[in-house]
């Protein structure tokens, strides 16, 4: 099928900026760039507009969208040798709003050091201070209620009015109960209760995360509804085209440096072209922005030649440097009377809760009752001593600046090496999960809670590359979890610590059936068993990033500090792909704030060209 140089009906021949991917970052850019009436923007999204869909809007129904082609790209990894050759599922939003439309809505802020590490690997203009105004700009964080503060031990948040005034609505909810209290009491007894607000980048210990849920409507607050409001959509200088698959970026290669001139699109099988007079901006996410670059001739010569794609910019770093947070899920049977989300397996319970939500937005379907904790390096004895940390890291090679930067975070006793999550249901792990829902649908007859252990700053680096020149073929994603042996050593120690949290004498342990089942039926107190738990129970936290890394080109960079693609003009990447080092915690706050900052950079660059 050849592509035609005429624009599709309804489209102009040329726009100033074409944004590829109307996801989390793409919607931010579409809004901010069209604040200037003189700037004409085309936003292209492969999926549909689902902003009024109850499955997307109702927080408690999120599992209903996974694996369905109209919502979810549903990627699978190659088998992971360090995880008993299991295949890891990677849900990705395929709709306006992207992954913010199907994520778990946890809203946490990164640690300061994990963002300062971006400067340490060659980006002096990117550190926590530089990102801070944007971490505040994207959201409005509601005030937690007195009862929530009490149950969740929130002693540090004295806000009486909302924090920030950004588009994404963030709230704490009301549904916290005995299990949350047990979580906080347990961490307090271990002297690991956070005394600081996570927003300042220095939280350590258990704290109550907020959620991207609008407190007024109890609906998911995500980029497509918050940044593309009816007023924004009505702007004459913004054109949004959904159900439009971008095949590749087009270049003018006649000058000294290739210039991006537009994109080739596929709408219902009709392939055509549209031009960008200033820039093409890729915001297709960490698996697909590198895919589009490779399909366009930007990438490793070897890979491009293998697929008969003419090389426009040779850069073997495209699709490399892929990072993700590994998460180990251990489920524990609860005592009779302890609340568990597993009761939703009963259709009568689900119906009753749906009725409550429909009637007045009350009940658990409108909120999230997850709680979290950040801890330094821990093991079965608690926080590992300075001597113990030194021993663990002795004799290893940290000559690579990125490894040194990660080491500096992980070994810092004031930094969160781990994030723990208290999840209100059982989690099922399959060798080849069909989709994300496979993990969430309760298959065991007993009721459980799950404690999740996340390594915040992994050393391992994976990859994502095209396997064909067909733009619709899924790329090959190999996260290479734990290929750096240190990750397994660290994760296993984090798993050992879980035994403290669920011990019979702990407040959380008292809510569990201590003679009941565990998934897996293993106790992780010795290191070898803890490693086996990782092999059996680790999946992805869905925080893929780093595949078009912002770093100096000679150190594996794909974009510079202004997020411009090396070796080409008029081409940027703005999404999680550019993270040079994975930040601590759930990353949507960082994606939003990077996109907010990128919008300012793009505006500045346009002004500079005009002058």
Binding site residues, as ranges?
246
Find the binder of ligand FAD among 58, 77, 100, 338 (CB under 6 A): 100
Give the span between the Cα atoms of 23 and 578, in whole angstroms.
Answer: 15
Nearest residue to 606 via CA among 548, 564, 557, 545: 564
Asked if residue 591 binds ligand FAD (CB under 6 A), the reply is: yes
Least Å distance between CB 584 and ligand FAD?
11
Find the binder of ligand FAD among 44, 372, 464, 488 (CB under 6 A): 44
- Cβ proximity to ligand FAD: between 139 and 384 the closer is 139
Please give, one letter per residue, the 3-state secondary structure of 336-356.
Answer: CCCCCHHHHHCHHHHHHHHHH
Asked if residue 294 binds ligand FAD (CB under 6 A), the reply is: no
Least Å distance between CB 582 and ligand FAD?
10
Find the binder of ligand FAD among 16, 324, 499, 575 (CB under 6 A): 575
Find the binder of ligand FAD among 99, 114, 296, 331 (CB under 6 A): 99
Asked if residue 500 binds ligand FAD (CB under 6 A), the reply is: no
Which residues in the 426-445 window bind ligand FAD by CB under 6 A?
A: 436
Two structure tokens written together for 226: 């918050």
- Cβ proximity to ligand FAD: between 102 and 190 the closer is 102
- Cβ proximity to ligand FAD: between 267 and 522 the closer is 267
Asked if residue 63 binds ligand FAD (CB under 6 A), the reply is: no
Whether residue 405 contacts residue 106, with contact meaning beta carbons closer than 8 Å, is answered with: no
Tell me the window of 52-60, 95-103, 383-391, 461-469 that interacts with ligand FAD (CB under 6 A).
95-103
Whether residue 303 contacts residue 312, with contact meaning beta carbons closer than 8 Å, is answered with: no
Give the span between the Cα atoms of 124 and 532, in whole angstroms.
Answer: 40
Tell me the window of 183-191, 303-311, 511-519, 586-594 that interacts with ligand FAD (CB under 6 A).
586-594
Asked if residue 460 binds ligand FAD (CB under 6 A), the reply is: no
Q: Confirm whether 543 is a catalytic residue.
A: yes
Burial class, 147, CB count within 10 angstroms (exposed 0-12 / middle 13-18 / buried 19+): exposed
Whether residue 80 contacts residue 111, with contact meaning beta carbons closer than 8 Å, is answered with: no
Which residues in the 264-283 window bind ligand FAD by CB under 6 A?
A: 283
Give the span between the Cα atoms of 545 and 399, in whole angstroms.
Answer: 23
**For ligand FAD, which residue has the nearest CB?**
23
Asked if residue 292 binds ligand FAD (CB under 6 A), the reply is: yes
Which residues in the 522-551 window bind ligand FAD by CB under 6 A?
A: 542-543
Least Å distance between CB 567 and ligand FAD?
21
Asked if residue 102 binds ligand FAD (CB under 6 A), the reply is: yes
- Cβ proximity to ligand FAD: between 338 and 453 the closer is 453
- Cβ proximity to ligand FAD: between 108 and 206 the closer is 108
Whether residue 585 contacts residue 421, with contact meaning beta carbons closer than 8 Å, is answered with: no
Least Å distance between CB 287 and ligand FAD?
8
Which residues are annotated as part of the binding site for FAD?
A: 246
> Which DSSP symbol is given to 284?
S
Handedness of CA 42, 44, 48, 51 (dihedral sign): negative
Whether residue 409 contacts residue 415, with contact meaning beta carbons closer than 8 Å, is answered with: yes
- Cβ proximity to ligand FAD: between 442 and 583 the closer is 583
Q: Rounded to the nearest 5°, which phi and psi values hold at 74?
A: 55, 65
Two structure tokens written together for 296: 């366009």
Give the span between the Cα atoms of 204 and 413, in whole angstroms.
Answer: 10
- Cβ proximity to ligand FAD: between 98 and 182 the closer is 98
Asked if residue 45 binds ligand FAD (CB under 6 A), the reply is: yes
Nearest residue to 421 via CA among 513, 328, 338: 328
Q: 275 forms bridges with which residues in the sheet?
A: 14, 262
Which residues in the 13-32 window bind ligand FAD by CB under 6 A?
A: 20-26
Whether residue 298 contacts residue 260, with contact meaning beta carbons closer than 8 Å, is answered with: no
Give the span between the Cα atoms of 153 and 130, in whole angstroms.
Answer: 30
Find the binder of ligand FAD among 86, 92, 181, 606 (CB under 6 A): 92
Nearest residue to 472 via CA among 281, 242, 272, 265: 265
Find the binder of ligand FAD among 40, 50, 94, 500 (CB under 6 A): 94
- Cβ proximity to ligand FAD: between 470 and 604 the closer is 470
Give the span between the Cα atoms of 272 and 167, in whole angstroms.
Answer: 34
Find the binder of ligand FAD among 105, 451, 501, 550 (CB under 6 A): 105
Asked if residue 288 binds ligand FAD (CB under 6 A), the reply is: yes
Task: Supply the DSSP string of 354-370, one letter for each residue.
Answer: HHHHHHHS-SGGG----
The residues near 400 (Cβ < 8 Å, ≥ 6 apart) are none
Binding site for ligand FAD (CB under 6 A): 20-26, 44-47, 91-94, 98-100, 102-106, 245-246, 283-286, 288, 292, 436, 542-543, 575-576, 586-588, 591
Q: Which residues are catalytic?
A: 543
């Amino acid at each position: 099928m050849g592509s035609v140089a005429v624009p599709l009906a309804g489209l102009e021949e040329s726009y100033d900026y074409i944004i590829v991917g109307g996801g989390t970052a793409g919607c931010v850019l579409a809004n901010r760039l069209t604040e200037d009436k003189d700037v004409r923007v085309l936003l292209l999204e492969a999926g549909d507009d689902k902003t009024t869909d109850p499955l997307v809007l109702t927080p408690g129904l999120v599992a209903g969208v996974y694996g369905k082609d109209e919502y979810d790209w549903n990627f699978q990894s190659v088998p992971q040798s360090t995880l008993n050759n299991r295949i890891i599922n990677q849900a990705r939003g395929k709709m306006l709003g992207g992954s913010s439309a199907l994520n778990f809505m946890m809203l946490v802020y990164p640690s300061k050091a994990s963002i300062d590490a971006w400067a340490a690997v060659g980006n002096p203009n990117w550190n926590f201070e530089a990102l801070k105004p944007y971490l505040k700009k994207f959201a409005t964080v509601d005030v937690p209620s007195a009862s929530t503060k009490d149950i969740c031990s929130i002693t540090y948040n004295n806000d009486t009015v909302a924090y920030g005034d950004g588009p994404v609505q963030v709230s704490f909810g009301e549904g916290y109960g005995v299990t949350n209290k047990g979580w906080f009491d347990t961490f307090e007894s271990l002297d690991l209760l956070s005394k600081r607000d996570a927003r300042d980048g220095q939280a350590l210990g258990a704290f109550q995360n907020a959620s991207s849920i609008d407190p007024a409507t109890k609906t998911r607050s995500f980029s497509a509804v918050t940044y593309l409001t009816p007023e924004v959509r009505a702007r004459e200088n913004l054109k949004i085209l959904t159900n439009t698959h971008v095949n590749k970026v087009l270049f003018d290669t006649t000058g000294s440096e290739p210039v991006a001139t537009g994109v080739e699109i596929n709408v219902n099988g009709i392939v055509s072209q549209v031009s960008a007079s200033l820039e093409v901006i890729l915001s297709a996410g960490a698996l697909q922005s590198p895919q589009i670059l490779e399909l366009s001739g930007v990438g490793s010569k070897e890979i491009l030649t293998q697929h008969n794609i003419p090389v426009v910019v040779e850069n073997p770093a495209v699709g490399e440097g892929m990072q993700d947070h590994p998460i180990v899920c251990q489920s524990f049977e609860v005592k009779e009377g302890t609340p568990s989300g597993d009761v939703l397996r009963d259709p009568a319970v689900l119906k009753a809760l749906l009725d409550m939500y429909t009637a007045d937005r009350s009940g658990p379907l409108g909120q999230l009752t997850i709680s979290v904790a950040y801890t330094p390096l821990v093991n079965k004895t608690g926080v590992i001593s300075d001597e113990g940390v030194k021993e663990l890291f002795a004799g290893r090679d940290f000559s690579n600046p990125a490894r040194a930067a990660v080491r500096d975070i992980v070994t810092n006793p004031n930094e969160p090496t781990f994030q723990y999550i208290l999840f209100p249901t059982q989690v099922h792990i399959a060798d080849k999960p069909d989709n994300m829902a496979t993990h969430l649908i309760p298959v065991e007859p007993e009721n459980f809670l799950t404690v999740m252990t996340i390594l915040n700053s992994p050393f391992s680096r994976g990859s994502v590359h095209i396997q064909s020149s067909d733009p619709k073929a899924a790329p090959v994603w190999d996260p290479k979890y734990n290929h750096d042996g240190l990750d397994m050593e660290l994760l296993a120690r984090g798993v050992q610590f879980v035994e403290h949290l669920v011990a019979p004498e702990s407040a959380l342990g008292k809510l569990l059936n201590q003679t009941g089942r565990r998934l897996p039926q293993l106790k992780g107190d010795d290191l070898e068993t803890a490693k086996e738990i990782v092999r059996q129970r680790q999946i992805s936290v869905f925080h893929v990033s780093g595949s078009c890394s912002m770093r100096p080109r000679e150190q594996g960079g794909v974009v510079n500090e202004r997020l411009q693609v090396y070796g080409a003009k008029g081409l940027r990447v703005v999404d999680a792909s550019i993270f040079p080092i994975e930040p601590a915690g759930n990353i949507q706050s960082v994606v939003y704030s990077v996109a907010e900052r990128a919008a300012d950079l793009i505006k500045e660059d346009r002004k500079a060209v005009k002058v």
